[in-house]
Amino acid sequence: MLTRYDPWTAMRQLREEMNRAFGQVTGDDGSNVVTSAWMPAVDIKEESDRFLILADVPGVDPTDIEVTMENGVLTIKGERSVEKTEEGNGNGYRRVERMYGAFHRRFSLPDTADAEHIGATGKDGVLEVVIPKKAEVKPKRIEVKH
């Protein structure tokens, strides 16, 4: 099996580990906006009539996710709890790579977003947030009289 080599992957991982070690989480754009210990990966898609955000939140009950909209900023909050294991029964972990704890992501929405009709559903570990676009307002031509 062939694996594509990306030399920057290791650098991104190192930066994330350093940020975690020093208690600072940066956004994908390198900004120093503190968000949370872990951030669900998201895909954002613009379609002709809506914006679509798909967030990977495996292990999080959709009813425990809070989606809010305020001042043009959409916020997604939730928490993935650590699985409880009993000592001595052979179910202990030797390696833990998945991140646990509270998370939140914030997205600035354009003026064309219809904040009143945002909807969200969760299924199979993916949160889908649908943000309809406002009906297009055509400019009104004003006649200049002389």
Quote the pTM value. Answer: 0.64
Question: Rounded mean pLDDT of 23-27?
Answer: 49
The mean predicted confidence, pLDDT, of the chain is 80
Domains of the chain by start residue, with CATH: 36-83+99-132 (2.60.40.790)
Whether the Cβ atoms of residue 45 and residue 52 lie closer than 8 Å to each other: yes
- At 144, the pLDDT band (50, 70, 90 cuts) reads very high
- Cα 44 from Cα 107, distance rounded (Å): 10
Q: What is the pLDDT of residue 26?
A: 47
Q: Could you give the dihedral angle defined by the CA atoms of residues 123, 124, 125 and 129, in that order, rounded to the nearest 10 degrees? A: -30
Which pLDDT tens digit goes with each residue over 74-115?
Answer: 999 999 887 665 555 555 667 777 788 889 899 999 988 999
Count of beta carbons in the 10 Å neighbourhood of residue 78:
22
